[in-house]
């Protein structure tokens, strides 16, 4: 069969350039399938769609285009990690994710090619979209993991398999919609629960709920904060 080579993945047809893969996803405001023709005109070589559209472009028909985007990101990250030079840093918390991510980008960029989302791209669409910006020469990938109910952070952590997981804070920001602060704590803890023994869990020990996560991970635990136990 034909081999398709793509140089970027976009969910916005306006950002498509020659050689891009367009992911058509249904949305609350509009439907990406309406813009496949735009993507094609802008140079897309193929489109991931949930149903075929009347456009002479290569189409990969899937049941769920957002899930397909996640699977693609998981594959690409795993392939680059297998080359041995990529480290993934996952950041979650009710507050401070974007600031921490931005600081990490500035610091890590001094040591090697670093990819981190420019904005708060931290959900099931934004996180894999950001992951797919890496190349074979990327040394550090910073992923912001946002919470959207139980299992949401686990889903993103399985996708990018962080070597370092940073837990910032368990706050009240989404406690109401999640069903209480305890549920929020469980969702945030999903990041360190996905880490392996060779990984590092970096916990804010000034936050008692975050500090307790030390018992929920197989990773090596390091703490930060104003507490004298920080290391």
Per-residue pLDDT at 194 exceeds 70: yes
Three-class SS state of 80: helix
Share of the chain above pLDDT 90, in %: 81
Three-class SS state of 144: strand
What tokens were used for 2? 């034909």
For residues 223 and 212, what is the distance between their CA atoms, to the nearest angstrom?
Answer: 11
Parallel, antiparallel, or unpaired: how do β-strands 87-92 and 114-115 relate? unpaired
What lies within 8 Å, CB to CB, of 138 at 6+ separation is: 80, 85, 86, 112, 113, 114, 115
Per-residue pLDDT at 95 exceeds 80: yes
Q: Count CB neighbours of 157 within 10 A.
A: 23
pLDDT for 181: 83
pLDDT, tens only, 28-37: 788 999 999 9
Per-residue pLDDT at 111 exceeds 70: yes
Backbone angles phi, psi at 114, to 5 degrees: -125, 130
pLDDT for 177: 62
Per-residue pLDDT at 105 exceeds 80: yes
- The average pLDDT across 63-78 equals 97
pLDDT for 94: 85
- The average pLDDT across 87-106 equals 94
153 and 187 Cβ atoms separated by less than 8 Å = yes
Three-class SS state of 89: strand
32 and 24 Cβ atoms separated by less than 8 Å = yes
Per-residue pLDDT at 214 exceeds 60: yes
Per-residue pLDDT at 173 exceeds 70: no
Share of the chain above pLDDT 70, in %: 94
């Amino acid at each position: 069969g034909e081999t398709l080579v793509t140089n970027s993945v976009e969910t916005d047809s306006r950002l498509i350039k020659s050689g891009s893969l367009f992911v058509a996803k249904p949305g609350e405001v509009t439907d990406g399938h309406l813009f496949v023709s735009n993507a094609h005109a802008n140079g897309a070589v193929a489109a991931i769609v949930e149903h075929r559209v009347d456009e002479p472009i290569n189409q990969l028909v899937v049941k769920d285009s957002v899930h397909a985007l996640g699977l693609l990101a998981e594959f690409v990250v795993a392939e680059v990690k297998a080359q041995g030079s990529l480290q993934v840093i996952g950041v979650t918390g009710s507050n401070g994710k974007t600031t921490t991510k931005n600081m990490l980008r500035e610091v890590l960029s001094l040591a090697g090619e670093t990819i981190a989302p420019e904005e708060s791209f931290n959900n099931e669409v934004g996180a894999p979209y950001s992951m797919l910006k890496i190349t074979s020469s990327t040394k550090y990938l910073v992923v912001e993991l946002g919470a959207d109910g139980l299992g949401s952070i686990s889903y993103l952590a399985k996708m990018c398999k962080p070597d370092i997981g940073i837990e910032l804070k368990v706050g009240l920001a989404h406690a109401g919609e999640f069903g209480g602060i305890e549920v929020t704590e469980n969702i945030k803890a999903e990041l360190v629960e996905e880490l392996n023994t060779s990984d590092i869990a970096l916990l804010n020990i000034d936050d008692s709920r975050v500090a307790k996560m030390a018992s929920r991970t197989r990773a090596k635990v390091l703490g930060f904060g104003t507490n004298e136990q920080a290391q």
